[in-house]
Amino acid sequence: MTKRPSAFTVCAAALPALAFAAALALAAASAHTAPLPATSSLARELAATFAHEQGDIIDPRQPLSKQLASLFAASPSEPLVLPGNLLLESACAQRGCDERAAAVTDRASATIAGIAARHFRCHLGSRGQTQCDRAPTLTIWVIRHQRSAASEAAVVAALKDWGRAAGYANEDVRYIRSALR
């Protein structure tokens, strides 16, 4: 007689993402979180930090700051408290959760420590039309303020774990200086 799998059977490949999600949910449920910087604050920091950057996230004709801000436009998740006085907030783009973003905020300084975007890298085709990859990319920007290498590594690890839960095929990690002081 063949035993049917129970409703609680979990694919082994999903366990790391589930463990990460469970740990983050537990941390969020057990901690009192300080309010995140307001969306206008996020938009201001994105605009200042990425002022002269063009991006390949949604539309290569738009500034990167606007493309990143659009990924935070809808369906925000509950903020999650991370070790090292960090807070992770994420959201989906208005057109759906295939494209999404996460920000890690340093609670002590109320600054963005890192941003991640799960997106389909886009470029302009030969006829000026936007063409996007079929496989998702996780792009991480670590925003360098005056943090230790260990703190930056924790930001990258948190954003990579978040990205793994969303799923992606390609990865790109960039280190940039903050325009805000």
Please classify residue 15 by burial: count the beta carbons closer than 10 Å to its beta carbon, then call 0-12 exposed, 13-18 middle and 19+ buried: exposed
Mean pLDDT of the chain: 76
Residues with Cβ < 8 Å from 160, sequence gap 6 or more?
116, 138, 140, 171
Instruction: Let me know how long the chain is.
Output: 181
82-136 per-position pLDDT tens digit: 998 999 999 988 878 899 999 998 888 888 899 999 999 999 998 989 999 999 9
Q: What angle, rounded to 10 degrees, do the helices at 149-166 and 15-30 form?
A: 120
Scan for tokens 């993402």, then name that residue: 17
Side-by-side strand order, sheet with 137-144:
80-82, 86-93, 96-106, 111-119, 137-144, 170-177
5-23 per-position pLDDT tens digit: 333 223 333 333 333 333 3
Residues with Cβ < 8 Å from 52, sequence gap 6 or more?
none
pTM: 0.74
Whether residue 27 is contained in a domain is answered as: no
The yes-or-no verdict on residue 157 having pLDDT over 90 is yes
Note the pLDDT of residue 104: 93
Whether residue 58 is contained in a domain is answered as: yes
pLDDT band at 40 (very low <50, low <70, confident <90, very high): low
pLDDT band at 76 (very low <50, low <70, confident <90, very high): confident
Whether residue 21 is contained in a domain is answered as: no
Note the pLDDT of residue 161: 95
CB–CB of 20/83 below 8 Å?
no
Whether residue 156 is contained in a domain is answered as: yes
Whether residue 15 is contained in a domain is answered as: no
Note the pLDDT of residue 122: 93
Whether residue 25 is contained in a domain is answered as: no
The domain that contains 60 carries what CATH number?
3.40.630
Domain containing 105 equals: 35-177
Whether residue 8 is contained in a domain is answered as: no
Whether residue 160 is contained in a domain is answered as: yes
Note the pLDDT of residue 49: 83
Note the pLDDT of residue 29: 34
> Based on the structure, what is the number of domains in the chain?
1
